[in-house]
Structure 1
Amino acid sequence: MKLVFFCLTIIGVNSRFSANGKSAILKVHNHLRSTIAKGMYDAKGTIEPPAANMRKMKWDTVIAASAQKYANLCPDDHSNVSNRGENLFWSLTSFAPTNLDEFGVEASKSWEQEFQDYGWSSTTLDKDTFNSGIGHATQMAWAETNLIGCGVKNCGREKDDTYKVAVVCQYKSA
């Protein structure tokens, strides 16, 4: 029984972002937000206007617990969580992941890349803008959002012998 508890404890600890992982995720998000706030963000060759009310992101442990709970399911689609934005990311690797923190940064950079791939056509978020391929990046850049929490899960080996890692970040305004 002690061995089972020990194994579950180790697996649980390895399925969350460390303090360094959380800090790295916040750094990527807040760098993007700061660049936008200063009017220095280049989205696919266009310098975007400065944000008037951009807030700095802070890590929220309650939101992180919710994101981790959902990540533990190795989801294929968004949750039904209300009153929060949500980004999902999956990585398939040929090796068994040992440092899950790196996937939080990889996910964040992937979401930000949407602005580079698709541009930023409007400062008004409507259905067309959201569906233009920048939905994840928009979650990161939404001015009034200031709370974030993320979870990560090594989902194990897939049928094709790759390893799947799921990252879930949820966003909220306080």
Structure 2
Amino acid sequence: RFTTGQNLFLSSSSSPNAISTNWKSAIQSWLDEGILFDFSEIDKFNGGGEAGHLTQMIWAASKYVGCGRAKFKIRGDPTYRIIYTCNYGP
């Protein structure tokens, strides 16, 4: 066994027809954290911070990636949701 990292992204809409699977938006939101990360400090980086989703994606030691999504609605709440997740392992 090994430790894993995880990224999550939640998409929501009040209409079931307006919400669709959109991996591009999920991944782009994680990549957009690049503006929060000082790449000149990468050798000193020890995890965490405001760019955690981005650094999880580019972590050099990660060899395994698994992604999935689930579409759901909470009873009594009119909102429809899709949650995207990617797990990363060394």
Distance 1:112 1:94 in 2: 27
Across the aligned residues of Structure 1 and Structure 2, the Cα RMSD in angstroms comes to 2.1
Indicate the structure (1 or 2) with the bigger Cα radius of gyration.
Answer: 1
Secondary structure of the corresponding residue to residue 107 of structure 1? helix
Report which structure shows greater RCO (CA 8 Å, sep ≥6): 2
Q: 2:38 aligns with which of 117, 120, 130?
A: 120
Partner in structure 1 of residue 59 of structure 2:
142
Distance 2:38 2:16 in 1: 36
The runs of 5 or more residues in structure 2 that have no matched partner are none
Partner in structure 2 of residue 95 of structure 1:
15
- Calculate percent identity across the aligned residue pairs: 28
Q: Report which of the two has the higher share of helix.
A: 1
* Alignment pair present for 1:154 and 2:76: no
Secondary structure of the corresponding residue to residue 126 of structure 1? coil
Q: Give the total of aligned pairs.
A: 85
Provide TM-score, normalisation by structure 2.
0.77
Q: Report which of the two has the higher share of strand.
A: 2
Provide TM-score, normalisation by structure 1.
0.43
Partner in structure 2 of residue 166 of structure 1:
83
> Structure 1: which 4+ aligned runs deviate by more than 4 Å?
none
1:82-121 Cα distance to aligned partner (Å, 9 max, x none): 6111111111123215642x1x2211110111112x1325
The runs of 5 or more residues in structure 1 that have no matched partner are 1-81
